[in-house]
Amino acid sequence: MKPLRVAVIGVGVMGRFHANNYAALRGVELIAVADPKDDRRAEALHAYDCRAYRSVDELLAAESIDAASVAVPTSLHYAVTKRLLEAGVHVLVEKPMATGVAQARELTALSRRLGLVLQVGHITRFYRAVQLLGERVRAPYLIEARRMVPYARIQDVGVVLDLMIHDLDIVLRLIPGAPVDLAVAGRSLDGGPLEDVAAAQIAFEGGCVARFLASRVAPDVERNLVVSEPYRTMRLDFAKAPYTEIAIYRRPTPDVDSGHVQLDRHVVYEDNPLRAELEHFMARIHDDAVPIGTLDDDVRSLELATRLLARLEPEPGAVPA
């Protein structure tokens, strides 16, 4: 099969990860990168022996590509993705695909109309531990997610769209019912418009409650998810990459009143989930794979995130403290 000609738009931290994996994948030829920064282009020329351009428009004018990864700042996701789709290019765009729901729906409709693959980079969907969780969870009544880091790599959106959206996506795939009530609080530590810490509680149809905490000013990295069911609680710890630790607590059922809680511990090796994500993207282009998460799922996660953000915004006419 003829190799797919791919490009990476934006070769910062995440873009370099994409380029590194593409360069090692079979059936893929990394043709070019695009980035406005001279040092990043020079580094890519040396590391990948590919061409480098200042913009996506320059790249498209000079190259014929089949697919591209978009790893530009979040505020540019919509414009760059739209430009690539209109040029007939399959796109994997880092999450979220846009900062607004209307833009996300527009990109979804555009990709479907043109018959192109548009995949959103929700990398946690490719964690084996998350896939196991989706297979085993049946009746959650409480879910708690914490995602904390000590620094802000993403500068143009706050922690809801940068960090919390990972856990919103996981939880929405575990709970069949729709959100019926939500509360959120957050704070910017420098007085700017973007939240550095946010906490949310969402009640769903059927009674499940989900709590989320995200911060980019935490003293340590903390990424965990706790799912409670009537007689079982599962705790996933993602902070020990490349391993995910799973602890399963089982309390006695009415017919087995032992008085003891049973604890099972497992360690899952997460063998490069980004590579698995890119391989899935390539397979979808070849029509050899069913999507792991649909664009409708992506829009739903973004819609919930933007609802939370709307609650964080000050009321019209409010005077800042």
Q: What is the pTM of this model?
A: 0.93
Give the model's pLDDT for residue 144.
98
User: Over 114-174, what HEC string results?
Assistant: HCCCEEEECHHHHCHHHHHHHHHCCCCCEEEEEEECCCCCCCCCCHHHHHHHHHHHHHHHH
If phi > 0 it is left, if psi is from -120 to 50 it is alpha, else beta; for residue 206 that is: left
Pairing state between β 118-121 and 90-94: parallel
- Written out in words, the top-level CATH class of the domain with range 125-271 is alpha beta
Give the model's pLDDT for residue 252.
78
| Comma-separated ranges of CATH 3.40.50.720 domains in the chain | 4-121
**Average confidence (pLDDT) over 253-271:** 82
pLDDT digits (tens, 9 = 90+) for 108-163: 999 999 999 999 999 999 999 999 999 999 999 999 999 999 998 888 999 999 99
In this predicted structure, the answer to whether residue 321 has a pLDDT above a threshold of 60 is no
Give the model's pLDDT for residue 313.
67
Looking at residue 97, what DSSP letter applies?
A: S
| Comma-separated ranges of CATH 3.30.360.10 domains in the chain | 125-271
pLDDT digits (tens, 9 = 90+) for 72-106: 999 999 999 999 999 999 999 999 999 999 999 99
d(CA 252, CA 225): 22
d(CA 246, CA 237): 7
**Average confidence (pLDDT) over 14-26:** 97
Name, in order, each residue with C-beta under 8 angstroms of 105's C-beta and a sequence gap of 6 or more: 299
In this predicted structure, the answer to whether residue 167 has a pLDDT above a threshold of 60 is yes
Give the model's pLDDT for residue 318.
39
Identify the CATH homologous superfamily for domain 4-121.
NAD(P)-binding Rossmann-like Domain (3.40.50.720)
Going along 216-296, which residue ranges are E strands?
222-229, 232-240, 243-250, 262-269
Cα distance between the two ends of the chain: 62
